[in-house]
Structure 1
């Protein structure tokens, strides 16, 4: 008999909080960095996705029972591949940032959305918490946002007393990723700390109820 989620040392709450922590770290690194270049953006993205891949891999073993591990295993593989590609120093260019992050966003976003919808239809809500659908949609929105951002965009502007600056496509793209990470961190933290509804108790058979 499979071990129930309530009897496990780790549950979905721990997965949510771990993902929230690493998303918050990525958001803070982007927010407090004055350098939003492709090199810095890919370095932060690499750390974020590799850490998230590790969280997914551990949750497949510690959180989910057999038969409910496919989604987190796929997400772990997708995040690990994206993180390793982003970690190659010679690939840290503007075009590479857009290519890797957009590909990761669409693949992982679709996986989370499809898995959440299928699990809800099958009534497996314990294996697919609410955050799966919303995080998947947010990740797809990130992909669309990066897709419509022109990597060659450049806009010069000046701030009186501070000097002249240039707003580029890569600065916008790294900022979008940082904003995405911040929203994900807040949402997953709220989901992780929210009280859980008690699992419904199956109704007793008619014969037992009569006796």
Structure 2
């Protein structure tokens, strides 16, 4: 592992960890909330998107240097679009389920493909490219799932205790958003820790090899 790659890994793993925090918070909030209305979904997504977008744009672009510089423009574009989507969601929080489906699906299509394509182009040459591919693919899957939700979905169901209820488009959409956020958040934590631990491997190897080299010289 080169010195440039080692420096990049040390600088970038905290960015991945910080990106995970808004996603995990969104996933936990939706999971423990009994309100799955479009308004809640738009507000929750808006806050998540603004925080995540700022982290990606400001901190990500600052850390994407050296061997990972080719990912910088993609990160800036992805972060800026995410912030815009978050602001739009907050401004349109009273717009109903159609607005929720449109805002999230458009955001997910654009940013997902940006991250996915950037990762594919950098695979094998840039540390963390595989992480970008996975995160981008998960976001594209969210877009597809949202596009498949009928806005007028209403499904009657009866529970084990004969309690009747309805499965509606807002419930499905907000639930999908929460599941996506939880999965991406956990993935980013794993990616961050893997990158962090990777920074210590070359040092440890060099330290272990040093005594052998010294003995050989003697």
Q: TM-score range by the shorter chain?
A: 0.7 to 0.9
Question: Does the 8 A contact of 2:39 with 2:93 survive in 1?
Answer: no
Shift in CA distance, 160/133, structure 1 to aligned 2, threshold 3 Å: closer
Residue 129 of structure 2 aligns to a residue whose secondary structure is coil
Structure 2 residue runs without a partner (length 5+): 203-218
Residue in 2 that maps onto 1:146: 146
Structure 1 residue aligned with 2:46: 46
Map of 1:96 onto structure 2: 99
The answer to whether the Cα contact below 8 Å between 1:49 and 1:82 also exists between their aligned partners in 2 is yes
1:30 corresponds to = 30
Task: Tell me the distance in 2 between the aligned counterparts of 1:7 and 1:183.
Answer: 28
Corresponding residue of 2:108: 105
Number of aligned pairs? 194
32-41 or 7-16, larger mean C-alpha shift: 7-16
More helix by share: 2
Q: Tell whether 2:6 aligns with 1:14.
A: no
The answer to whether residue 125 in structure 2 is matched with residue 124 in structure 1 is yes
Alignment of 1:133 onto 2:133? yes
- Secondary structure in 1 matching 2:165: strand
For 1:74, what is the secondary structure of its paired residue?
A: helix
**TM-score of the superposition, structure 2-length normalised?**
0.81
Deviation at 1:58, TM superposition (A): 1.9
19-28 or 7-16, which moves further after superposition? Answer: 7-16
Q: Does 1:83 align with 2:100?
A: no
Q: Note closer, same or farther for the CA distance 1:4–1:44 as it changes in structure 2 (3 Å cut).
A: same
Which residue of structure 2 lines up, in the alignment, with residue 204 of structure 1? none
Structure 1 portions without partners, runs of 5+:
200-211
Segments ≥4 residues shifted beyond 6 Å: none
Give matches, 1:54-93, under 5 Å.
54-65=54-65, 67-68=69-70, 69-89=72-92, 91-93=94-96
2:122–2:129 CA contact under 8 A, matched in 1: no
Q: Secondary structure at the match of 2:151?
A: coil
| Counterpart secondary structure, 1:184 | helix
SS of corresponding position for 2:98: helix
1:203 maps to which residue? none
